[in-house]
Each structure stands twice: as structure tokens, then as C-alpha cells.
Amino acid sequence: GNANVLGATVFPHNIGLGAAHDPDLIERVARISAREVLATGLDWTFAPTLAVVGNVHWGRTYESFSEDPHLVASYADRYVRGLQGDLGDESVIGCAKHWVGDGGTTNGEDQGNTVLPEFELERVHVAPYRPALAAGVLTVMASFNSWNAEKCHGHRYLLTDVLKDRLGFGGIVVSDWDGVDQLDDDYDTAIALAVNAGIDMIMISVDWKRCLDGLTRVVEDGRVPMARIDDAVRRILEVKLHYGLFTRPRPADRPFSNHDSFGSAAHREVAREAVRKSLVLLKHESAVLPIAKTARVLVAGKNADNRGHQCGGFTVAWQGVSDSSLIEGGTSIWEGIRAVAPHAWLSVDGSLADPAQHDVAIVVIGETPYAEGMGDIRQGGRVASGSGFGGPTSQLTPYGKTIELSSLHPEDLATIRAIAAKGIPIVTVLVSGRPLVVNTELDASTAFVAAWLPGSEGQGVADVLFGDADFHGTLPFTWPAHAAVDPYEAGERFARGFGLRLANREQRTANSFVAEARRRRGVLR
């Protein structure tokens, strides 16, 4: 969604959409996202991300639909069609990113080095771009990472020989945010390397005049041929003409400018559907689900009533926000539960848990927001982004040093154990941007749900927990059994594609569970 803007509809991040396995839904999500971008007067968005993640230590794991290149590829064309459509009034220009190999870096380090032979780069990381290009995506963004120690922003073979010549891409290749800077300590040299490699448009965070001056110098010095400038200008103009930019009215006068559909109930209903379809049930015992709406439910956990946490990074701010105040509209998971279960109580730390008062507890745990290198998990908590291959290194503090949740967030396990010690069955809901090692939390729970980063519509979680919809999602990533950096050493707690169902279970099952729970505690009335 257009999540930088207050009041926007915030859909589940891509990892959740990958769990839904629904290409039709993907196209609808992209179409609504386009409308909400158009409402603000913009006509270009940097999506879809087509990363194929090889290591969930990467801080951008949640931006990927799956570790499976076939699943990512199956979404690529539908997402482009949703954004660009027929390039009419409801369309925006799409941007496939990040070209290429961003999800394959060593140890999952952001902006790091992807060490692969070309056939493997093609099989895993190039493959999802083919359907996006076939669908007519108009722009492609270069990636911060290196391929075999050569930065992609300066990689003529990847940008020109493969993308433009072999794959026939005729649109704009745009740099990432100040990505050109990383090619050389001398800025003019960095500009020349990038433009000669095939960058058509340079994205500058602040000092764009310095960039223009440098580009002028390297052309006048003969380090960048005028033919390369002409080619870049032609590509930029052709995309603008193809989109009809020069014949459209100014942004304020376009049909979807400030449109009432922005953040509307209809848009949020699609996001709520996406939440329902993204949830993955990993454990279910004692027929605890679905929960009866008449049950006495304790809701706990730091992520239970926090729309900022459930929206994750890139929402309102680069690193996301840590409360609900800036997420205008939508519902937290607690607010969604409260709307359907009148006997639900909120106790964030679980201290109000009472077996005489509560039949079941829903404990919402997990990560807090992060983005890019600040979401990396690095052994020893090293401060480095891995972007030093041929250029300056970006210094970012990582999220942590292990993917074991009990070490990252011990408060979550403490809440679960405190409630479990009182004999109350626990349904744990994990809010996270990646699979985490949660063996201890799983073992202490009666049921366990992976909710990913569901976005603004927490009501969708309540829909499934209370039986208005069945679980639908399956894992788009292998779920690790151990906190090893190497995915092979981490093992497999759950295989990709795993996901339990409650199909054919009648609502009376939930009611009978509540009755049994009360009977066990001698509080049946």
C-alpha cells in the first residue's frame, strides 16, 4: 500500500501475501495500491520487489513473497498488471526491483555479496523478472548488492548485456537511493561507472546539483559517451510517452487525485481478506480453535494492541512506528478481537490472567518494526551492512544477533509462561517479518499462528481465530529449527508449504472446548 501516507490502507507485507498463494488477490492488492498512490498525485511506485531470499537473517526478508523463485515469478506479472493495467487513469508506473540477487547475499547481509555461478543466479534470482518484463513493467531498479564482489550498480554485464540486450528491457533502469555513491570514493568516477554500466536515471537523496555537475564533467571529459546519454534520455522519454504523461492533466486535476477511495472501507476489506488468507496455523491441540465469541478471552502480549508493530517497517516512517497513533484507520489485533468477543479483556503483560475468569488466552508476540540493514540479524551484532564491495560501507546497527525469539524478545516467552502456569490454554499469534526459531514458545502454546506483518487490518486475524474464516495460508519459507546462520545447519521445523486447517470443524467444537475448560476449573455456571 501507499503506507508512507497517513490514513492509507496498509496491506500485509509481501511475505504474508506469499503465504496466501493467491495471484488474483495479488493483482487486486496492486490495483488498490495504485489507486491510493494516484490519490496523492504521484504516478510511479517502486514495486514489485522480486527478491528471492536465501537466508532469513536478511532484514528485508518480509519484502519477499517467498524463498521459492517459482512462487515469486507467479506473482510478478499479476502485480505489474495490477499497478500498470492498461496505462489508463487508474494506473501507475511499476518498478521491478532489485536487479539482481538482492536476496542471495552471504549470511543474508543487507547490500552484501551474492556469490553464485551465473546459471544459479539465472535460475533463482533472474527468473522472477521474466514474467514482470513480459507484463510490460516500465522501470527496473538496480540493487545495492554485489554479484561475485562486483557492485550491481556498476555491473555493465548485468545491467546492459543481460537486462537490456538479452532480456530486451526497453524501459528505465533507475539507481537505488544513493546507490551510485558506493561505486567509488571519487563521486565523478562513481557516476561514470554507473552510467556506462547502464543506469539511466540516478536517484539522489539530497545533493542532486552535485550529481548533475559531476555527470556534465564526465561527459565533457569523454569518460561517458554522448551516445550513452542519448540512450538514457530516449528511454526516459519513451516511458513517459508510453504512459501518456505529457497528455495527462496536472496531478491535482486527474480522476483519482484526492479520491474518496483512499483508505476506504472497500479497500480495507480487501486488505482484511489478505490478512485472513495470509495466516498460517503451525500448531493446534485440544480443539482450542476456533474460539467461541462468547468465551472469556484474555488478550496479552506487546503486539496485541499496536498497529505500528503489526504494520512493520516502511509504514509512515522508514523504520516504521512503535505505536498505534500514527496508523490512522484500521484495527489492532486487540481491537479486532474486542469487536467480536464482548467478554475479551486486555492485559498486555498477562498479569491479570485468572483461570476463574479466563477460558483461553490469545498472546500476540514477535518482532518490532525495522527496515533494510537495521533489520539484519548478524552474529555478534556487528555494525556493518556488507556494502563495502567496491565502495563505502553503510554503518547500520542490526536488529539482533540471533533469530531465536526467546533471546531477541525474552518478554514474549515470559508472558506466555506466566499465563500457562495458571493453566489457561494459550493461542499464540506471532507478528514477524520472517520465520524465527520459536521452539520454546511453540511448546508452551496450545495453538500457534504465524501472522507475519498483517498491516492495518488486524480484524482479519480475529476473523480466523473466532471461526468466521478457516486458516488458508501455508509457509512461503522453510521454518528453521535452530538458530544457525547457515540455512542448512538451521534445519527444518516446518517445511515450506506447511499449514494446518480447521476444515469441517463445527462451531460447536469451540463452544464445547469452552465448556470443558470451565468444567475442569469448576467454574461452569
Q: How many CB atoms lie within 10 A of CB 277?
A: 21
361: Cβ contacts below 8 Å, ≥ 6 apart? 297, 298, 299, 300, 350, 353, 419, 424, 425, 426, 427
Q: For this structure, is 110 an active site residue?
A: no
Whether 434 contacts 67, CB under 8 Å: no
Q: How many CB atoms lie within 10 A of CB 322?
A: 14
Q: How many CB atoms lie within 10 A of CB 513?
A: 22
Q: For this structure, is 176 an active site residue?
A: yes
Whether 316 contacts 6, CB under 8 Å: yes
Q: Alpha-carbon distance 96 to 137, whole Å?
A: 7
Q: How many CB atoms lie within 10 A of CB 393?
A: 14
From start to end of 38-121, where are the E strands?
Answer: 95-99, 113-114
Q: Please state the three-class secondary structure of 25-47 as a single string.
A: HHHHHHHHHHHHHHCCCCCECCC
Roughly how many angstroms between the first and final C-alpha of the chain, as a whole number?
Answer: 47
132 three-class SS: helix
Closest CA to 156 of 171, 173, 139, 133: 173
Annotated catalytic residue within 110, 372, 441, 457: 372
Q: Alpha-carbon distance 201 to 219, whole Å?
A: 15
Q: Alpha-carbon distance 396 to 383, whole Å?
A: 6
Whether 460 contacts 19, CB under 8 Å: no
Q: How many CB atoms lie within 10 A of CB 523?
A: 13
Closest CA to 91 of 212, 221, 244, 209: 244
Q: Alpha-carbon distance 403 to 72, whole Å?
A: 24
230 three-class SS: helix
Q: How many CB atoms lie within 10 A of CB 307?
A: 28
From start to end of 367-475, where are the E strands?
Answer: 426-431, 447-452
User: Which set of grid coordinates corresponds to residue 71?
Assistant: 512462487
Q: Alpha-carbon distance 284 to 301, whole Å?
A: 19
480 three-class SS: coil
Phi, psi of 84 (to 5 degrees): -95, -25
Q: Alpha-carbon distance 411 to 124, whole Å?
A: 38
Amino acid letter, residue 236? I
Q: Alpha-carbon distance 152 to 179, whole Å?
A: 9
Q: Which helix (DSSP H) or strand (DSSP E) does residue 151 occupy?
A: strand 150-151
Annotated catalytic residue within 63, 67, 110, 176: 176
Amino acid letter, residue 271? A
Catalytic residues, by residue number, are 176, 372
